[in-house]
Chain A
Amino acid sequence: MKVKLKIWRQKDARSKGKFEEYELDNVAPDMSFLEMLDSLNQRLIKEGKSPVAFEYDCREGICGSCGMYINGRPHGNDHKTTTCELRMRKFKDGDTITVEPWRAAAFPVVKDLVVDRSAFDKIIQAGGYVSVNAGAAHDANAIPVPKHNADVAFDMASCIGCGACVAACKNASAMLFVAAKVTHLAQFPQGRIEAPERAKRMVAKMDELGFGSCTNTRACEAECPKGITISAIAKLNREFIFNKHNDS
């Protein structure tokens, strides 16, 4: 296949940045989107130009680092897939593909398609943990957990922190991410105790770091590669509004 790429190039955080166009001829339909970018980068390196910077690690949809905004959608046009899992057969021969970094005040661009998502780490540091030692793997069944809670926790734990929800939201809100984390940890007896306090702290951090507020547009759940839904946000709201937190 042949594709025309319009890619955001930005030297560093302070530079202005602009779109550059590239044409790529030998694209195999089975290539992943990242492999396609690899082949572009190989060419750019041979030509003595700087390769397109993008983030990746696992290349199997579990690390959350490969987010980019492809043709107007986070992680591209495929349902519940990360960019590394997106295949070139989802595009047509001769397509023009526009690739941009996540855009959010809280996720500044580092270089090209790479953004700084450490704001998510700061939200986790604000309360996304269980304060007691819950033991090692073999202790997992020491306290029985109802099946329903285990299922919900598992679904919520599948959030990979990719930031697609923020990228998709018109308010750049991190509510889906925060909701997934809060809901996940509230499912277990060990995590339940701190749940209201955790919700309060993580939301306060989210607000402080410059993420927007939720206006229930559902763009986040439409783009989440892990299929996390806004029912998580409803749970977070419940936790936040109706459960008493201790002042701290």
Chain B
Amino acid sequence: MTNIFNSSIGKKLIMSITGIFLMLFLLVHLTVNLMLMVGDGELFNRAAHFMGTNPAVKVIEPLLAIGFVFHIFYATYITLQNQRRRPIRYSTSAFNEVTTWPAKNMYILGLTIFIFLIIHLTNFFWKIRFGTVETITYGNESMPNIYALVSGLFINYWWYGVLYIVGAIALGLHLSHGFWSAFQTLGMNGTKWIKRLETLAYIYAILIGTGFSMIPIYFFLF
């Protein structure tokens, strides 16, 4: 195993592993976020408080940051390198029957997600971790009222809602390809499995895309 990560397959392997890790994180993230739409926000606040204070989450959080950094770094590296592999372009290009638009535009979708991510982190993560968020008390437990922070943002600024929906759609498209692609990279694919994985990819992508989009829409409407 002399430095597998110097090879093209090894670099792609990093994309795949970090990608799968990020996809698992998104499931947890979405589950917590969907609680925003349940009741008056107590459930969400309690869940967010649990996530914010749980030691396991404390361990996973830096791993998540590292996952993002590696994913983005290798994405940029691979994309830049691949662009040099065809110095003279074709004058015409036709579509084929199987290549999807997201498959060809993973980096553009990724960059959209990245820009969204920065805005998203300054909106919430930064304020919760380093700013001041008003506290709310349930019974004898008090915790930051993140529900008020989130709902305030979406109710007061409609265009933040639009931005979050764009981010969710970009994420959904990225994952409609990324989900099955990650398994292909690991070698876990074949003539039978490709159809199953593609179906799962679409289910997962729609779940993520609509799931995250529903939240701003909910605050806009109700």
Contact = CB atoms under 8 A, between A and B. Distances in A.
Contacts of A100: 90-92
Interface string B1-26: 11010011101110000000000000
Interface string A216-232: 11110111000001110
Contacts of B93: 72
Interface stretch (A20-28, A87-95, A185-193, A238-246): A238-246
Interface stretch (A55-63, A136-144, A199-207): A199-207
Interface residues of B, number: 42
B98 A218 contact: yes
A98 interface: yes
B54 interface: no
Contacts of A207: 7-8
Interface residues of A, number: 51
Given A170-B104, A229-B191, A218 B8 contact: no
Interface stretch (A46-54, A102-110, A127-135): A102-110
B26 to A, nearest CB: 20
B135 to A, nearest CB: 47
B82 A212 contact: yes
A interface majority secondary structure: mixed
A222 B98 contact: yes
Interface of B: 1-2, 4, 7-9, 11-13, 78, 81-82, 84-94, 96-99, 103-104, 106, 177, 180-181, 184-191, 194
What are the nearest 5 A-B pairs in CB distance? A238-B187, A72-B94, A213-B8, A222-B96, A212-B85
22 contacts: A19-B91, A71-B94, A72-B92, A72-B93, A72-B94, A73-B94, A77-B94, A100-B91, A170-B104, A172-B85, A203-B7, A203-B9, A206-B8, A212-B8, A213-B11, A213-B81, A215-B106, A218-B99, A223-B96, A236-B187, A237-B186, A242-B187
